[in-house]
Structure 1
Amino acid sequence: MGGPPNSRSVVAAASYEARKFGIRSAMPCSKAAQLAPQAIFVSPRFEVYKEVSDRIREIFLEYTDRVEMLSLDEGYLDVTFNKRNILFAVTIAKEIRSEIFKRTELTASAGVGNSKFIAKLASEKNKPNGLTIVLPDDVIAFIDPLPVNSFHGVGKVTAQKMKELGIHIGKDLRAKNIDELVQHFGKMGIYYYKISRGEDEREVNSCRERKSLGAENTFDQDKIDREDLLQQLREVAIEVERRLKKEILPVKRSLSKLNFKISV
């Protein structure tokens, strides 16, 4: 999904079939076309995605109010005390996946675990359209063989630093003592120490606030005319204003910082 392959657009999302050719999100569409000349490019329909996302969230809310959406297509649910008094989380996961398909004709992957960290890792395990359950007694065995760059909070830079320290998988991370991890990673070392043991005290935050909002436009061709650039800036500013009015201003939040960036 993205703009025409002969434009400067980037890939917004890639199907699992496209990923087999090495196509990834944020890759220039021109490069994606080189990797897979037979690829079909479709334009994004964000309003449609938002509408479908809202419908899926409504399904979540039928089971629990403890819903924390991370994006249009991903979220955490705390079903410990659910509305239907269902005893097992796996039962709820199966029902929700079934309802999503029934109402939207979309498949969904789910991960069941005793923390956000484990549930997230589990949800990534059997994509697409998979269900992974990690029981409390199996947490360490589940974490140990996983590459550390799949852990929440471990980015490219940190993963490289861990690699230099001989930390490649969860088991390697768990072998390090907390003092050593703090020495190399500061306060995050405590977090890494805990997650390597399956410890994650973060709660599902159903009142999660959006921290930033923006808009952007990628030009098909270089623009150097001042008036043309100013007009493009006005259009982007208008779009930001529209989103502000819709998503932030209605809840009486204040604007603390405004960033403007031009990439060349």
Structure 2
Amino acid sequence: MSRIIALIDMDCFYAQVEQRIRPELWGKPMAVSQISAGGSASIMLAITYEARAFGVKRGMSVKEAKKVCPSLEICMVPNLPTMNKADLSRYKSASDEVFDILTKQESIILEKASVDEAYLDITEAVEIACNAESPEQIIERFMAHAAELFPSTFIADGEDEKLESDQRLARIIKWLDEDCRMDSLQLNLAVGAYLIEKIRKEIFTKTQFQCSAGIGINKIIAKLVCARHKPNQQTIIPPQFVAKVYEMTPINSTMADLQMVPKEQILHEFPEQSIWLFKIMQGNDDEPIRPRLQQKSLAISKNFPGVYKLRSVAGVEKWVTNLSAEFSKRLYEDQVVNQRTALNLTISFRNDEGFYNKTVPLNSYVNIGIINNLLSFMRSYNKAGDKEAWHPPIKNISMSASRFREGVDSQTKQITLWAEKAIQRSLTPDESETKPRELNEPVTSKCVTSTEAKKKRSDSFKTVDHIPQPSTSKQSEQPELIQLDSDDEIGYEIVSSKNDNDLKMERRPFYYRDVVNDEFNENYNEIQTSVNDSTMHSEQNPREKDIPLSERSAIMSRYMPKNLDDLKNQEIKDMIEQLPEDVRQVSAQM
């Protein structure tokens, strides 16, 4: 049977992530903007359809957007605490939630196209569904319950963009009754549309995120119609309508005109690509869906435009250090989640004279090694006569890791096991404390306030919402102290510090709840509760439950010590001796 391919695309994804954090913004004109290098609001990154109706467009400044839509709500992308650089972790975590759902679909090949897009080869799933009933039974059931089974499906036939809701439904029923009865490929597309409706509904129910989809016989066709009826709708494109849809879409200046060029001329001008071009012109593409969820590389980059160019040695060293620390953290998190290790490190920078890059073996994830590699490379291009100056000034610094191999080194495994154990012991807030959004409707979610949470501290088990970690920010250095019922230690963390190149690991107790917003607060607003040390490794805790994979990375950053490869064997032993007994037993067996 012919392939059935779908593209699922999250609608205004960054905006939806922010709306879930602030439910009062559902259904309102809002946009997501990013802080520029100078610390002021930059251009719009994501815009809701309510805002687009007022004329707000991507690329506008906040000032321009507010001028066309005074009621526009602006949500800023958070910055990493140690640098003026966007922290996209909340959007990545939300994306992980969506892909967790997609990976659990049976008989489907999944290819991650971006943080908010995925191609699905649903051919096998369609075949299984078609074998469960006769074609006649499927068609009769689809026609009788079309409004329920295809609530947001359109058929791209060149006239579909003009249809009202009742006309859309009548068109589907007519297509089922006429085309699907006569052609098995059309029926397969109908079954595929039904399956994608179910998947999109599941994504919404579990995450509150809406998405659109395109369904066709290949990736190009699915991509072509995916955005045709955005937001929160999907489009099928039967093969007989491909040429007509080509003519009526913005790409007609290329595709429709290309069809008018004689084949002999195409063969002469593009001898190697001619076969591919002929197929694309007809809407045919045999590119397979390649199972891919993991990134092929990990990267971090920072631009320094205009007056923000780096002109001093101190400035370059500061940013190299900050970027390397964040990059090292991401590498360790990827190692824990994906159980793989990068082998190559590519370091690069751009100045007023050009772009320079170098690839070296990545022998260690320790940030001091990354710092030394990058600074050593960059210093050879510093032409400043003053030893404190840097010339030509730096416009960009970036680094990336690639060539991953499966597995984790034994030294890192001890810490990985400890972190895995800690995740399993963590607790999540009561699910009853948030109310899911109804499909296509705004919602006001019930969130636990700080005052309400403090009243719950008389419970014998405390809800783990956040585990404090040391930070260089002033806010974290002076956390809000909370009066407890007793002076007993309520939690601890293993902290690494490095002074004069001497790495130390210590068990640091804490007696307060750090109230700085973090990844958990993105989902549960201001739930602020204390951590009871006994709940972190109690086998009998009745409120204990697994943390979803999408939240593992956020939690892991709280537990993962830095500079692991700098540890001596005795230091590892001393550190493990400070861990809970059950974790020590697991580590001892490795």
TM-score (norm 2): 0.37
Q: 2:94 aligns with which of 49, 52, 59?
A: 52
Q: Give the number of equivalent residue pairs.
A: 242
1:159 matched residue in structure 2: none
Distance 1:9 1:58, change over 3 A: same
1:122 maps to a residue whose letter is: V
| Aligned-pair identity (%) | 25
The reply to whether residue 23 of structure 1 matches residue 126 of structure 2 is no
Contact 2:41 2:62 in 1 (8 A): no
1:13 matched residue in structure 2: 46
Larger strand proportion of the pair? 2
1:77 maps to a residue whose letter is: L
1:196 matched residue in structure 2: 281
| Offset at residue 256 of structure 1 (A) | 6.5
1:240 matched residue in structure 2: 327
| Offset at residue 134 of structure 1 (A) | 0.7
Q: 1:121 aligns with which of 216, 224, 227?
A: 224
| Offset at residue 205 of structure 1 (A) | 0.6
The reply to whether residue 263 of structure 1 matches residue 413 of structure 2 is no
The reply to whether residue 2 of structure 1 matches residue 23 of structure 2 is no
1:171 matched residue in structure 2: 256
| Offset at residue 229 of structure 1 (A) | 3.0
1:81 matched residue in structure 2: 124
| Offset at residue 119 of structure 1 (A) | 0.7
Q: 2:75 aligns with which of 30, 34, 42?
A: 42
Any unmatched runs of 5+ in structure 2?
1-31, 79-87, 131-190, 351-393, 397-590
| Offset at residue 245 of structure 1 (A) | 3.7
Matches of 1:179 and 1:252, distance apart in 2: 50
Q: 1:33 aligns with which of 52, 63, 71?
A: 63
2:456 matched residue in structure 1: none
1:33 maps to a residue whose letter is: K
Matches of 1:70 and 1:11, distance apart in 2: 22
| Offset at residue 201 of structure 1 (A) | 0.7
Matches of 2:211 and 2:232, distance apart in 1: 5
1:3 maps to a residue whose letter is: Q
Contact 1:86 1:92 in 2 (8 A): no
Contact 2:218 2:286 in 1 (8 A): yes
Matches of 1:245 and 1:179, distance apart in 2: 55
Contact 1:147 1:170 in 2 (8 A): no
Distance 1:7 1:193, change over 3 A: farther
Matches of 1:139 and 1:35, distance apart in 2: 37
Deviations along 1:132-161, whole A, 9 cap, x unmatched? 00112322222233222xxxxxxxxxxxxx
Any unmatched runs of 5+ in structure 1?
149-166
Matches of 2:293 and 2:258, distance apart in 1: 30
- The 3-state SS of whatever aligns with 1:85 is helix
Contact 1:18 1:36 in 2 (8 A): no
Matches of 2:128 and 2:43, distance apart in 1: 45
Contact 2:298 2:331 in 1 (8 A): yes
2:201 matched residue in structure 1: 98
Distance 1:172 1:141, change over 3 A: same
Matches of 2:272 and 2:47, distance apart in 1: 35
Matches of 1:250 and 1:127, distance apart in 2: 37
| Offset at residue 56 of structure 1 (A) | 1.7
Indicate the larger mover: 210-219 or 136-145.
210-219
| Offset at residue 7 of structure 1 (A) | 1.9
Matches of 2:322 and 2:283, distance apart in 1: 47
Deviations along 1:80-109, whole A, 9 cap, x unmatched? 112993331011111011111111112110
2:234 matched residue in structure 1: 131
1:146 maps to a residue whose letter is: T
Contact 1:145 1:169 in 2 (8 A): no
| Offset at residue 190 of structure 1 (A) | 4.3
- The 3-state SS of whatever aligns with 1:3 is strand
TM-score (norm 1): 0.76
Contact 2:47 2:56 in 1 (8 A): no
Matches of 2:51 and 2:270, distance apart in 1: 36
Matches of 1:257 and 1:194, distance apart in 2: 38
| Offset at residue 42 of structure 1 (A) | 1.4
Distance 1:208 1:51, change over 3 A: closer
2:245 matched residue in structure 1: 142
Distance 1:180 1:250, change over 3 A: farther
2:568 matched residue in structure 1: none
